[in-house]
Structure 1
Amino acid sequence: MRITGLDFCGVAVTPRTNWCFLLVRTEDGRTGLGECTLANQEALLAAEAARLASRVVGCDALARNRLARLLPHAQGGLVAQTVLSAFEGALWDLAGQALGRPIHALLGGALRETVPLYANINRGTNPRTPEGFAAAAGRALAAGFRAIKLAPFDPIIWEDAAEPGWRQGYAEGLARIAAVRAAIGPEHALMVDAHWRFSPGGAARLIQDVAGFDLFWLECPVAEANHAEIRRLRGMANDRGMRLAGAEALAGLAAYRPLIETGCYDVLMPDMKHCGGHEEMRRIAALALTAGVEIAPHNPTGPGCHAHSLHACATLPNLLPLEVQFGETERFFTLCPGASLGFSAGGAVVPGGAGLGVALDEADARATPWKPQATPWLDPRLG
């Protein structure tokens, strides 16, 4: 099953969001699908896809171990690792199609038929007031979700803590959390994503201030490389009954190993788009399991990553709910027809059928090509 082409497809789905896909084509007419969304890096992703194509066209699509090995020290950084992760996923899709089996069956079989989900309401919230966040949380509850996550602290960043308005921005973030907790009641799980916006000292204060909201976890309070402070903050969070979560933009087991061995996080969040694909996610989860660390894959983007994440999550024993972007765009459910990617009672059925179980509607996708984002979702200082 020789590879005849590798195509990049970037799709504008909202004024602030592009999804990016990798299509691997073979001589027998099959197409494997991977997702390589990486905000504000679309042009670089397309260039990296073309570079990868020059290396793999003509190769056997079933030679995955040779073609899609992730080397964390290799040049290219997260852009190259994201394209390689999508390529690895597309090769799994092709292998499943060729064998007539779903990806999760090739990974050893599903431990569960339905994957639990939590609703990330961040991009689906408008206006971004406490009332707007509460309304979005209410919509997620009405859709059957039992766990909600918000990112309430934009646009503050710790480097600007001396600037006028920072304290007010922080207070507004706490008000958003309070409004969502009031809207969902004490019986539903609440997570807060801090998007690395705090210094270690500011994060310590944050943990004290959010303790009364009974968070299930606090996510990414400080820069990912600050292991000593992350361990300290984990202890503070645990003392107040909440988990510390993070590590959503790392690639490969080698990057996760020190986080696991030094006890940085209660919950690791490898992303199928960045971590190296199915093989690396399973290795990360297996090592985490030996340390009692839970896995909640990062998954706030498009339907390709979501479908691959469902297959992976079906096989992981140390799984917490999988993230899904709630309320951003209905194209999430229509752009990749095939198995249903719908949500029901806070969960999603693992796709059946051969391979990934869904395929990109290329005509629909190419009707709205990706557009440069004038205003990045995150401040460039955050990544």
Structure 2
Amino acid sequence: MDDSRIEKIELFKVPPRWLFLKVTTKSGIVGWGEPVVEGKADTVAACVKELEQYVIGRNANDIEDIWQILYRGGFYRGGPILMSAISGIDQALWDIKGKFLNVPVFELLGGAVRHKMKMYCWIGGDNPDVVLEQAHEKVKAGYQAVKMNATGGMQWVSSLKDIKTVALNIKLLREEFGYDLDIGLDFHGRVHKPMVKKLIDELAPYEPMFIEEPVLSENNDALKHIYPYTNIPIATGERMFSRWDFKEILHQGVVDIIQPDLSHAGGISEVRRIATMAEAYDVTIAPHCPLGPISLASALHIDFVSANAIIQESSLGIHYNQGYDILDYVLNPEIFDVKDGHIDLFKKPGLGVEINEEKLLEGQKVGHNWANPIWRNEDGNFSEW
């Protein structure tokens, strides 16, 4: 008889900037999760340790009850640390349940609505030469869509010279690829409200696929002024952590694409609920994923079952992944193969990603101490990264 009680939780802090979680049941079924906030891996690891008391000894199949206890049981709720810790545990429990029942996770979520998912990846935005070179690399690798930062560091009100340079990279891509390449632009919360409309004016002629995080999520009220100003789809949500964080912008109708992160927004359980809530507002979902293979696999299972999922981010080859990349920790890298811009529906049970524990232990010895760079404007004032 299978014993699905959770026996052990292990954490692995590995380069480039990731934290992996391994949950093992008494019968030996293993599930993998990725609970991390970029730059706060140790803090999230400590939170996972605090949550163990609610998890060890529980039946791993009781995913929803465990989620509710982890979210509500500590009195204080939400935020990046707690929700990222919950996310990794939740991912691992879905992985276990899929393996226990011998089906992919998307089957447990209601079954697939598509047989493949459109993908995009990052290209550097440092200078025009890099943009063109990397875009050609990604197209050659099978992608039909890319994303890049729209700006570098910006003043609260920047000079006209800085504003005029913003559109150069997307202009070059349009001239090179026409409309055969979809191009997303990430404002990354670097731009403050006084600058957004002017930047949109510069970018609009080149018709980006979307504008991401035009303002910081704590300034989402500014979207009421930005949204009616442009016909470019507005995307946001990577720094929002639960359905309650998304509720107001959906109700206000000031967003077209939401981007919850499977390692930050409560895992598979909560992002599935967020996606369904967004569908009721005719809003699409494009999960944020600058992290590792477990987070990406989790996001794809949400995409496979969500009618309103439109495109999926991958960090494969992103500039953070120096020395170690997504496929380095994976025994079956073929599941992430991009063909004609898409990844095919997974077939293996659970999350479908097989982790190379030998490589994981090697990476754990290296570890990491990744932290956001600190940027400053010319006058010495802090600039959003």
Q: For residues 366 and 381 of structure 1, do their structure 2 counterparts lie closer, same or farther at Cα, with a shift above 3 Å needed?
A: farther
Letter of the structure 2 residue corresponding to residue 116 of structure 1: K
Q: Is residue 164–residue 202 contact of structure 2 (8 Å, CA) maintained in 1? A: no
Aligned length: 367
Name the CA shift for 1:135/1:308 in 2 (closer, same or farther; >3 Å): same
Aligned-partner Cα distance in 1 for 2:260–2:172: 29
Name the structure 1 match of 2:355: 360
Cα 1:215–1:68, aligned 2, differ >3 Å: closer, same or farther?
A: same
For residues 313 and 173 of structure 1, what CA distance do their matches in structure 2 show?
31
Alignment pair present for 1:247 and 2:249 = no
Paired with 1:377 and 1:111, the residues of 2 have a C-alpha distance of 42
Name whichever of 201-210 and 57-66 sits farther off: 57-66
Deviation at 1:26, TM superposition (A): 0.9
Using a 3 Å threshold, how does the CA distance of structure 1 residues 341 and 153 change in structure 2: closer, same or farther?
same
Give the alignment of 1:1-40 within 5 angstroms: 1-13=4-16, 18-40=17-39
Equivalent residue in structure 2 for 1:176, among 162, 169, 182: 169
**Comparing 167-176 and 331-340, the one that deviates more:** 167-176
Give runs of aligned pairs for residues 310-329 of structure 1, distance below 5 A: 310-328=300-318, 329=321
8 Å contact kept, 1:131–1:179: no
Alignment of 1:1-383 (within 5 A): 1-13=4-16, 18-69=17-68, 70-71=71-72, 74-75=76-77, 77-122=79-124, 128-154=126-152, 156-159=153-156, 161=157, 169-238=162-231, 242-328=232-318, 329=321, 331-338=325-332, 340-369=335-364, 370-373=367-370, 376=373, 382=384
Please state how far the C-alpha of 1:74 moved relative to its aligned partner: 2.5
In the alignment, the residues of structure 1 paired with residue 375 and residue 19 of structure 2 have an alpha-carbon distance, to the nearest angstrom, of 18
8 A contact 2:39–2:371 mirrored in 1: no
2:47 and 2:85 in contact (8 A); partners too: yes
User: What's the offset of the Cα at 1:375?
Assistant: 5.6
Which amino acid in 2 is paired with 1:136?
Q
Given the superposition, is the C-alpha separation of residues 326 and 137 from structure 1 closer, same or farther in structure 2, using an over 3 Å criterion?
farther
In 2, the alpha carbon distance for the partners of 1:24 and 1:10 equals 15
Aligned-residue offset at 1:244? 0.7
Paired with 1:353 and 1:325, the residues of 2 have a C-alpha distance of 22
Contact 1:231–1:264 (8 Å) recurs in 2 = yes
When structure 1 is superposed on structure 2, of 72-81 and 171-180 the one drifting more is 72-81
Aligned CA-pair RMSD: 2.3
Deviations 1:154-187 (A, max 9, x none): 2x1344x46xxx6655444332222233333233
Query: Residues 19-47 of structure 1: CA distance to partner in whole angstroms, max 9, x if unpaired?
Result: 22111111111110111232110110221
Q: Distance in 2 between matches of 1:36 and 1:255?
A: 19
Spell out, residue by residue over 1:330-375, the C-alpha distance to the aligned partner (whole angstroms, 9 max, x if none).
Answer: 7312312236222121111122121111132122022123211366
Output the CA distance in 1 between the equivalents of 2:374 and 2:330. 24
Distance 1:210 1:303, change over 3 A: same
Separation of aligned partners in 1, 2:313 and 2:109: 21
Alpha-carbon distance between aligned partners in 2 of 1:326 and 1:259, rounded to the nearest angstrom: 30
TM-score (norm 2): 0.89
| Offset of residue 228 of structure 1 | 3.2
What SS class does the counterpart of residue 68 from structure 1 fall into?
A: helix
For normalisation by structure 1, the TM-score amounts to 0.89
Conserved 8 A contact 1:246-1:265: yes
What are the Cα deviations for residues 212-238 of structure 1, in whole angstroms up to 9, with x where unaligned?
111111110112132332122111122
8 Å CA contact 2:287, 2:313 repeated in 1: yes
Flag the 1:210–1:107 CA change in 2: closer, same or farther, 3 A.
same
Cα contact 2:242–2:270 (8 A) shared by 1: yes
Separation in structure 2 between the aligned mates of residue 172 and residue 351 of structure 1, nearest angstrom = 42
Structure 1: unaligned runs, 5 residues or longer: none
Which consecutive residues of structure 2, in runs of 5 or more, have no partner in the other structure? 377-381
Paired residues of 1:138 and 1:183 also in contact (CA < 8 A): no
Matches of 1:302 and 1:253, distance apart in 2: 23
CA distance in 2, matches of 1:248, 1:56: 27
Identity percentage of aligned residues? 25
**8 Å contact 2:78–2:242 — kept in the other structure?**
no
d(CA) in 1 for partners of 2:375, 2:287? 20
